[in-house]
Amino acid sequence: MEKSEDEQYLQLLSIFHYIVAGFAALIACFPIIHFTVGVGMIFAAITGPDEAAPMAIFGLVFALIGGSIILSGWAFAVCVAVAGRFLAARRHHTYCLVMAGIECIFTPFGTVLGVFTLLVLTRPSVKQMFLQTVVSIDNHNSLPA
């Protein structure tokens, strides 16, 4: 059976969500250098002379900022991958719409993917596909055992 145009678009969008999620996770790893330098400064201040307290504070700030950038980037990548999974399963339409809007911040790839995802998800036929999935899941769960 041949897939409809909307099904093909959703499948492609799902694949590209996985690709952008991997790319975002890779980019989020760049501040590992800052985190490592900050931790090194903390350990150098701990093992060094007592006058090294300002270096420990600076190292802590350096490590906290680097670590928070890494964690938020990885969290974004996971959310994009989850949106790709939901697009493939045709579930959680609102989540996919919200993530498409947030992806637009991640230029240039996220912007392109977010705009195309918004264009596809706002089609009435695609909304109907998501609703049919929800109805079929509800009917399946309500069957007697």
Structure tokens at 65: 């900022």
Q: Give just the sign of the alpha carbon dihedral 115, 116, 121, 124.
A: positive
Concatenating the DSSP letter of every residue in 7-50 gives HHHHHHHHHHHHHHHHHHHHHTTTTHHHHHHHHHHHHHHHHS-G
pLDDT, the chain, mean: 90
Q: What is the pTM of this model?
A: 0.86
- The rounded distance, in Å, linking the Cα atoms of 84 and 87 is 5
Q: What is the domain partition of the chain in residue ranges?
A: 5-141
Tens digits of residue pLDDT in 62-111: 999 999 999 999 999 999 999 999 999 999 999 999 999 999 999 899 99
pLDDT surpassing 50 at residue 1: no
Q: What is the pLDDT of residue 3?
A: 75
Between 70 and 140, residue with greater pLDDT: 70
Between 132 and 71, residue with greater pLDDT: 71
pLDDT surpassing 80 at residue 31: yes
pLDDT surpassing 60 at residue 143: no
Band of the pLDDT at 2, cuts 50, 70, 90? low
pLDDT surpassing 70 at residue 138: no
